[in-house]
Chains A and B, each alone.
Chain A
Amino acid sequence: MTLEISGLKVSIGGKEILRGVDLGLAAGRVHGLAGESGSGKTMTGLAVLGLLPHGARASGTVRLGERDLLALPAKELNRVRGGEVAMVFQDPATSLHPMLTIGRQLTEHMRHHLRLGRTEAKERAVELLGKVRIPGPAQAYGRFPHQFSGGMRQRIAIAIALACSPKVLIADEPTTALDVTVQAGVLRLLRGLCDELGLAVLLVTHDLGVMSAVADEVSVMKDGLVVESGPRGRVLREPAHAYTRSLLGSLPGAGTAEPGGPGDPGGPGAGPAPEGER
């Protein structure tokens, strides 16, 4: 395992938010983390990155090679974050500075973490923009975030995350804000980068379709605990836990045929609707 989370507990103001999470991320594999909103998915990612909200207390271990990230001094953790462990969020605006060109944002990161020279950094930045399939990477280098569409901005955020050749990528709902057509492209990109670069990816998503498309392993969270974990095919087709079944049951397409295929009863009223949101 590239990254191993064991017995991770997080509490804020006396409230236990994570109650002993176990998760392992392996190189070249996408580990999907599902569960309803409030179940603790984002908090799990933030704990790995050492970005927990003020006043949060964490215990357990987050092992990256020989080190326990939870026990690392702030300065060393800073080096890990953005270096060996990188992140992408739902809203690309979180990772992009609106007033700086994307080239500057890419190279600053590399010069800081990898101590590259100016020319070298620029070359690598243009190469990365090409890798995430930004059209005309050399021209794009000098543009500002607002000059790109939402899908392109998320690709740029991914390029920045990849700038320092991380071993682990944590992607928290990276396609939730995008059109399905754009989402398809970003999912293909993520899967390709994972395979090509041997990244260990934690993909947080509430969308089980997204999960099914790119994850190798799937874990399902509920109330701060992982309640089910296993290979994608098994968890999605033969869920062992009642909660996973209820998540699958609340899907729009539950129990009916696929789009564009014959024999679809269609119409309203598919699947039971569990009392989810409160």
Chain B
Amino acid sequence: MSLLSVDDLVVEHRSPGRPAVRAVAGASLTVSAGEVVGLVGESGCGKSTLARAVCGLNPVTAGSITFDGQPVTPLGLRRRRLTGIQMVFQDPYASLNPRRLVGDQVADGLRTARDTVTSPADLLERVGLPREFAGRHPHEFSGGQRQRIAIARALAARPRLLIGDEPISALDASAQSQVARLMRDLAVDAGAGLLFISHDLSVVRLIADRIAVMYLGRIVEVGDTAEVWADPRHPYTKALLRAIPKPDGMGVLPAELPGDVPDPVNPPQGCRFHPRCPHVMDVCRGKEPDFGPVACWLHEPR
């Protein structure tokens, strides 16, 4: 059984006097213990909304989220800490308290897990930082170091599921792959699942066992990382891969995917990707492909 199972999830953002924003519109996804799943897609596709719903931070409109056999319901912050899910956010400047010592912040996580044996310095060591950092303040560190501190704090709580929402996007190139690999290694060593969200497929590819591609609230392709990378099938996945410029010195401009992610208040009829799809057919305009693992009329399962 999967550690996390998201089934036909719908999440709407509601604010008074505005139409509901259906940011997640029937998405299904699983993460097993010890497994790393990469969730990719352009910004505005609903990745953060899905992640926050899994943490109980966004109410579920329809569908279900099951963690360890238990339904996930919206929770207060304190109880959420006890559920075994921890999240690392994009901005390590905003997620650490600038006025508290690094060690004290990591100790919060240890208390959550009722861990009286491990010291904050032990955790800093595990994320590749000197033990002395426990006695310093976050502002003394670079973005990459702060993100390692945030990871140490999340791990201190011994989560069974770790979620990283664009945890490397604010870091520079050399730090990106190091921090991504660190998250993978630590999660897998602890037997936890990792849901790693990023818009950068070339980094996700380094650490994920499986890749899920999200477009406008739905998962449009899921597969083993190596297969998706070598043989992407959904036209959206193909477009994402073709847009990555290659450092081969050949001077080839990456292919553009015209248009923007549509407003989820008013999604296109039929296949949500059809207005941007180079292979659009008649059926795509009228009927939504609601099957997997590749939600595309060119890849209908028989």
What is the CA–CA distance of A136 and B172 in the complex, to the nearest angstrom? 35
Which residues between 260 and 301 of chain B lie within 8 Å of chain A, taking CB atoms? 260
Known: A211-B247, A212-B251. A184 touches B256 (CB 8 A): yes
What is the CA–CA distance of A184 and B259 in the complex, to the nearest angstrom? 12
List the A residue with the shortest CB-CB distance to B42: A179
Tell me whether B88 is interfacial, beta carbon within 8 Å. Answer: no
Number of interface residues of B (CB under 8 A): 51
Measured between beta carbons, the chain B residues less than 8 angstroms from A264 are 226, 229-230
CB distance from B281 to the nearest CB of A (A): 22
Contact call B244/A191, Cβ cutoff below 8 A: no
Known: A181-B257, A213-B245. A260 touches B238 (CB 8 A): yes
What is the CA–CA distance of A188 and B242 in the complex, to the nearest angstrom? 14
Measured between beta carbons, the chain B residues less than 8 angstroms from A215 are 251
Measured between beta carbons, the chain B residues less than 8 angstroms from A237 are 248-249
Contact of B249 among A191, A235, A251, A257 (CB under 8 A): A235
Contact call B256/A278, Cβ cutoff below 8 A: no
Measured between beta carbons, the chain B residues less than 8 angstroms from A36 are 172-174
Known: A180-B200, A184-B245. A233 touches B256 (CB 8 A): no
Per-residue interface assignment for chain B, residues 194 to 209, with 1 indicating a CB less than 8 Å from any chain A CB and 0 otherwise: 0000011111011100
Tell me whether A80 is interfacial, beta carbon within 8 Å. Answer: no
CB distance from B203 to the nearest CB of A (A): 5
Per-residue interface assignment for chain A, residues 172 to 196, with 1 indicating a CB less than 8 Å from any chain B CB and 0 otherwise: 0000000111111101100100000
List the A residue with the shortest CB-CB distance to B257: A181
Tell me whether B118 is interfacial, beta carbon within 8 Å. Answer: no
What is the CA–CA distance of A208 and B250 in the complex, to the nearest angstrom? 12
Tell me whether A78 is interfacial, beta carbon within 8 Å. Answer: no
List the B residue with the shortest CB-CB distance to A206: B173
Known: A179-B199, A207-B245, A260-B230. A213 touches B178 (CB 8 A): no
Tell me whether B114 is interfacial, beta carbon within 8 Å. Answer: no
Contact of A252 among B145, B206, B252 (CB under 8 A): B206
Per-residue interface assignment for chain A, residues 258 to 278, with 1 indicating a CB less than 8 Å from any chain B CB and 0 otherwise: 111111111111100110111
- Besides the contacts A232-B249, A247-B174, what 8 more A-B pairs have beta carbons closer than 8 Å? A206-B172, A237-B249, A251-B173, A264-B229, A266-B225, A270-B206, A276-B172, A277-B172
Contact call B244/A259, Cβ cutoff below 8 A: yes
Measured between beta carbons, the chain B residues less than 8 angstroms from A225 are none
Tell me whether A150 is interfacial, beta carbon within 8 Å. Answer: yes
Tell me whether A248 is interfacial, beta carbon within 8 Å. Answer: yes
CB distance from B209 to the nearest CB of A (A): 9
Measured between beta carbons, the chain A residues less than 8 angstroms from B251 are 212-216, 232-233
Contact call B257/A184, Cβ cutoff below 8 A: yes
Tell me whether A165 is interfacial, beta carbon within 8 Å. Answer: no
CB distance from B284 to the nearest CB of A (A): 19
Contact call A252/B231, Cβ cutoff below 8 A: no
Most buried by B among A182, A270, A274: A182
Measured between beta carbons, the chain A residues less than 8 angstroms from B250 are 212, 233
Contact call B230/A180, Cβ cutoff below 8 A: no
Q: Which 9 A-B pairs have the closest CB atoms?
A: A276-B174, A266-B226, A236-B249, A209-B245, A277-B144, A213-B245, A208-B247, A37-B172, A277-B175
Measured between beta carbons, the chain B residues less than 8 angstroms from A185 are 256, 258
Most buried by A among B171, B241, B244, B256: B244
What is the CA–CA distance of A274 and B244 in the complex, to the nearest angstrom? 23
Per-residue interface assignment for chain B, residues 180 to 205, with 1 indicating a CB less than 8 Å from any chain A CB and 0 otherwise: 01001000000000000001111101
20 contacts across the A-B interface (CB closer than 8 A): A179-B43, A184-B243, A184-B255, A184-B256, A207-B245, A212-B246, A213-B253, A236-B249, A251-B173, A253-B247, A258-B246, A259-B230, A259-B242, A260-B241, A262-B231, A264-B226, A268-B184, A277-B142, A277-B172, A277-B175
